[in-house]
Every structure is written in structure tokens, then in C-alpha cells.
Amino acid sequence: MTRDTPDTLGKGDVVSNESLANLLKEERRFAPPAELAANANVTAEAYERAKADRLGFWAEQARRLSWETEPTETLDWSNPPFAKWFKDGRLNVAHNCVDRHVEAGLGDRVAIHFEGEPGDTRAITYADLQREVSRAANALIELGVRTGDRVAIYMPMIPETVVAMLACARIGAPHSLVFGGFSSDALAARIQDADARVVITADGGYRRGKPSALKPAVDEALTQPGTENVRNVLVVRRTGEETAWTEGRDVWWHELVDRQSEEHTPQAFEAEHPLFILYTSGTTGKPKGILHTSGGYLTQTAYTHHAVFDLKPETDVYWCTADVGWVTGHSYIVYGPLANGATQVIYEGTPDTPHKGRWWEIVEKYKVTILYTAPTAIRTCMKWGDDIPAKFDLSSLRVLGSVGEPINPEAWIWYRHNIGGDRTPVVDTWWQTETGAMMISPLPGVTEAKPGSAQVPLPGIAATVVDDEANEVPDGSGGYLVLTEPWPSMLRTIWGDDQRYLDTYWSRFQDRYFAGDGAKKDGDGDIWLLGRVDDVMLVSGHNISTTEVESALVSHPKVAEAAVVGATDPQTTQAICAFVILRGNAAEDEGLVEELRGHVAKHLGPIAKPKRILPVDELPKTRSGKIMRRLLRDVAENRDLGDVTTLTDSTVMTLIQSKLPGAASSED
């Protein structure tokens, strides 16, 4: 999977300096809007303050939270890389996300505007949320869940998912969310590894206009060895479809939770109490259970949500389109926004149901002011055509965010123009499941934005780019992205495997955290992310980044999306093989492939010219929207496909394979 830290690293520069220079040739800069800058939550001064006293800065941010016992020690780094942040502080995460807002008189504020895919809606206030979370916490206690027990959550995008997570947090039972799109095998592996006691699920959810079942995958997973410790399955009724039932084990949410008391007094836990485990898949070996804890995680998610989106909780309506089963959903649907008392939209379904303007209709309906989504979604909207968002009133929007992949300059500009009406800043936020919260991003009221670049480490964060020998590279060159100081929301370990935590992240560059991403510093020292280092291609002795070739392809007016891989080649070590999705009106004619090859050569130089270009209808993606280049490499090298269970739509690969003979004929 593209997501992994590589076992082996390519030698030398990740990408030639020349190609970066080409990428930056069309220098387009966007100053922050004057009004936003004048009223911004965070100004340039924050960088100075954090630089002068990094730990003091984070101690100050921790005071955004309500602590039962205030921490006196900010960071214990006596046993690196096992960090302890705010270790003598005690707090309850759910109290911080819910109860304290009610206590502050904000009980009537809407926390969640829920929009179901079929069109059903619910407005849930902070007071409602407090009652629901308390009831769910009492229900878990009745099921025998104790502090420290793990709870697996396999749910659609409905409010009960947020309630379930907060109920776990409230009683100190770490949750482990598994994407609703994952197979029963993937679910079983995660239940086994975390040794979960309870699974919370639903009969199903709505996707693409139809009910899509979830419970059967849970039933199937629980037949597998190593899942015996699951005592109960708590099931939300969402679709009302017929569901198999195991008496004594399965419990309906509406029967158990609804009859509970709506009073529950949250107990404070240590700042380092585990909050959740979230698995990132591995190309080899079992998935890594990334462990996050409470005080530091909540501090950094709350701070970054406040700073990077310039959130004004009284007036903003925030919407993050991510699935809650992805880290973005954890940090920027649940913990960060709720800790900040935000009002947000949660939408259950796909962007094209029942029509391709659904997202923009939702923005118009709820007057969304801040939108956070992924480049893949933006490129899909580009492909569908500018006329679709143009039909809706998007004038409420004031800040746009991007996460998940490098955003190519074309998509960035399209997003700002067609969605942001050329008014809104676009913040390109780089971070990972492991970092827990945003690390590198512009600030909307401060940074002069460069399309395609995440630009600068946030205040209190230290990141740089190093070469093979761990030396910091000068401005204008590339290498590996590393984080040089611990940060509050960092992963604490890999669940049950401290050694793997050390080996994967902390051994490649001595005391620095190695993120697995290639990056460049431009002449101003701004950071450009170049994709996972194991995706870097080696062509006739040159390292070429997939991101840059993709970006060059997408800058052609006929291309909506591109995925590039290096396929083994007897002459050149690897040959560049590109899969492209054409824009709505572009025809797949004879000369197109040649035209695109020429276009890449012009942008990046002849060495980066793809050997093959294959127009396709879809690309294989994970549910979080990342292209699965491993599968495309398998196709390009005529290998059998490996594990496709984490794919959104497994038929995509069959379609691509059936087109492959055509690819060979476009070679020269």
C-alpha cells in the first residue's frame, strides 16, 4: 500500500532539482484575505513564541482544555522515543468535548447537523450529545466494559459512531475504529490484535442510494480464532434490513442504550491514558496499531483545529468530509472540533448520491463556512465539471482545507476558484495517523499561499528535510521528511510492539522521526511533499517522484486524475507507467497519449516522459482516497493482484486489467 514506511530506501536525491524548479516556474502566490488576517485566531507572532519556548508554547495550548488536575510537567522525554506529555495532569476527554460546553451555557448550540444519504436529518445539540454519550457510557458499563478494555467500532457515518467513540473515551476504554468498507478478514485481524471485548456496529448504512450491510461482516469476523474475547456486539438500527442474530451476544443499541440513565459522572484519567488504537495497513506483516493517548492528543487536535481553520465556534459551520474511521475523522470530526465547541455537518453518503451536486447542496443548505476534504475528491469534482458547483450558492465558505495526499497545483487552483470563489485561503495540511494532528500547513491569516505546497511546520512543530546521511538539505533540494522534536499528539507506540515502533520510525535517522515521505525545500525553505518514498521511481539512474509526474499530467487540460508507477524494465531499471482519467469532455483519440507524453517531457524533462499511458475510468483507491499504487504496479508488471480488501471498489482492478493489452500498443 502506498501508505507504508518502506523497508528499503532508494539512494540519493528523491527528485532532481531541475524538476522542482520546473514545478515552481509558474509562481502563483495568494496573500491571506485582509479581513481574515485582521481577525485571525493565530498570527505570525505564534511562530516566534513557539520558537523561543516550544514546551512553554504547548503548556499554554494545554490550557485550552479543562483539567481535573493541571499538569505541572509538559514533556518527559527521558526515555525517547517513548514520550509522556502532561504526565501528572488528569482529564476526561469526553468531558472536554461535551459536558464543559453544556456547563458553559452552550447546551443549545448544535454540535452535529446530520445529513443521512436518503435525506433524513437530525440536529444534535451539545446538551443532546451529553445525554446520549452518558447513556451509551452507562450501557457499556452494563455490558461489563471496564477502564482499559478495548472496544472495536465498525460503523457507518452516523451520529451514533461519534457517540460510541465519546462513550468509550468517557469510561477510559480505548476504541479501535475499523472502516465500514473493510472486509471481515481485516476486521477480524484488528479485533484480534487489539483483543477487543465488545464490537459496536450497525445493521448497515446507506451508500450510493442503497442500504449497505455491516453486521454480516462482524458475524463472519467473530467466527475466526482469536476473537473469542468479544462478549457482546452492540448493534445500531440504521437501515432496518433483516439481520442475523446471536442470542446472548448481540444487543440492540435502541434496547440497551435508550433505557439507560442520562446521567453519568465522568472520571478523570491520566493524560497518558490510552484514548484509541487506529490501524494503518502494512505491505508486509500485520497492520500496525497506532496508539494515541489523551492529554497531548487533545491539546494538539484542538489547537490545530483552532489555528489552521481559524475556527470561530459561535459563527462557523464546519464540515470535514472524511470517514470517521480514518484518522482525519478521529482528529477533525470528533476530538478537535468538539473540544472547540464547533458546530459541524456530518454526511453519511457518497458525493454523487442522488446527484453530483450533493456536497454543494449541503454547503448551501447549512451555510458551511469551513470545508475540509481530500485532493482525490477535488479531482473527482473537477472531472465532473465546473458547472455542477456553479449551480449552488457557496458564498458562505471562508476557509478550505486539503488532506491525505499531495494536492497538485491545478486541483488547488480549481478548488479555490470553483469552490472558494477566489476568496478563500486553501490550507494544505500534512500529517499522518502517527502524528495524530496536523504538522505542516499554512495558517490562513498569515501565510502567503503557494498552490501545491504544505509550506511550513505549525508553531511548536519541528520538521525538516534530510539526505541519506541524515544531513539537513539546503533550500532548493530534496530528500526525506523528518520531524526533529517530539510533539504532543505523537503516537506513543505500536500497540503491543515497542520494537516495531522503534524500527519503523526512529531507526533510519537516529533521533529523528522518519515519516516515510519524500519532500523538497524550495528556495524560500517552504516544504513540498512528494509522496511516499517507496513510490519514488528509478529511471536510468534518476530518482523521479510519482507525485511530480502525476502533477504534470493533471496540469494538462484533458486530464482529471493520474496515477503513476515505476514498472520493472530491462533497459531503464524502471519505466514510468501512467494511468489517467480524462476530463468529462475529453475524447480518447489516437494522438492523445503522444500529446500527454510530450506534455510531461516539456514540464519535467525528457527523462520523466512516461513510457506507457493508459486512459482508465477509475483508479484503485483506499477508502481514505489514497491511490493504491502497489496494485497498479502489479498490473503494470502483469502480476497477480495481492490483497485488495482495503479497496473502495474491487471491480476497478478488473476493469483496468481488461484494458491492459491496449497499454502495450502505446509503447514505443
Q: From the list 117, 128, 405, 561, which residue makes contact with ligand 6R9 (rule: CB under 6 A)?
A: 405
Max CA distance (Å), the chain: 72
Smaller CB separation from ligand 6R9, 367 or 500 = 500
Smaller CB separation from ligand 6R9, 338 or 411 = 411
φ and ψ of 416, to 5 deg: -65, -40
Q: Which stretch binds ligand 6R9 (CB under 6 A): 15-23, 24-32, 219-227, 514-522?
A: 514-522
Smaller CB separation from ligand 6R9, 125 or 429 = 429
Smaller CB separation from ligand 6R9, 114 or 303 = 303
Q: From the list 89, 159, 266, 404, which residue makes contact with ligand 6R9 (rule: CB under 6 A)?
A: 404
Nearest approach, Cβ of residue 593 and ligand 6R9 (Å): 28
- In angstroms, the Cα distances linking 336 to 308, 415, 447, 582, 662 are 11, 24, 22, 37, 48
Q: Binding mask 587-626 vs ligand 6R9 (x if CB under 6 A, - otherwise)?
A: -------------------------------------x--
Number of residues that bind ligand 6R9 (CB under 6 A): 21
Smaller CB separation from ligand 6R9, 3 or 87 = 3
Q: In sequence order, which residues have a C-beta less than 8 Å from that of residue 190 and are 6 or more positions away?
A: 152, 176, 178, 279, 287, 289
328 is in an annotated binding site: yes
Q: Binding mask 429-458 vs ligand 6R9 (x if CB under 6 A, - otherwise)?
A: xxxxx--------------------x----
d(CA 215, CA 626): 26
Q: Which stretch binds ligand 6R9 (CB under 6 A): 107-115, 404-412, 579-587, 602-610?
A: 404-412
Distance spanning both ends of the chain, measured CA to CA = 29
430 is in an annotated binding site: yes
Q: Binding mask 287-326 vs ligand 6R9 (x if CB under 6 A, - otherwise)?
A: ----------------------------------------
Q: In sequence order, which residues have a C-beta less than 8 Å from that of residue 451 and are 6 or more positions away?
A: 28, 30, 407, 409, 412, 413, 416, 426
Q: Which of residues 13-72 bind ligand 6R9 (CB under 6 A)?
A: none
- Cis-peptide into 354, omega within 30 deg: yes
554 is in an annotated binding site: yes
Q: Can you tell me whether residue 575 is helix, strand or coil?
A: strand
φ and ψ of 463, to 5 deg: -135, 150
Burial 589-625 (b: 16+ CB within 10 A, else e): eeebbeebbebbeebbeebbbbbbbbbbebbbbbbbb
Residue (of 189, 225, 180) closest to 348 by Cα position: 180
Q: Which of residues 244-283 bind ligand 6R9 (CB under 6 A)?
A: 280
Tell me if 521 contacts ligand 6R9 by CB under 6 A: no
Do 613 and 563 meet the contact criterion of CB atoms below 8 Å apart? no
d(CA 499, CA 285): 14
Q: Which residues are annotated as a binding site for CoA?
A: 207-210, 328, 540
Q: Which residues are annotated as a binding site for Mg(2+)?
A: 554, 556, 559
Query: Which stretches of the chain bind ligand 6R9, using CB under 6 A?
Result: 3, 280, 327-328, 403-406, 428-433, 454, 515-517, 529, 532, 624
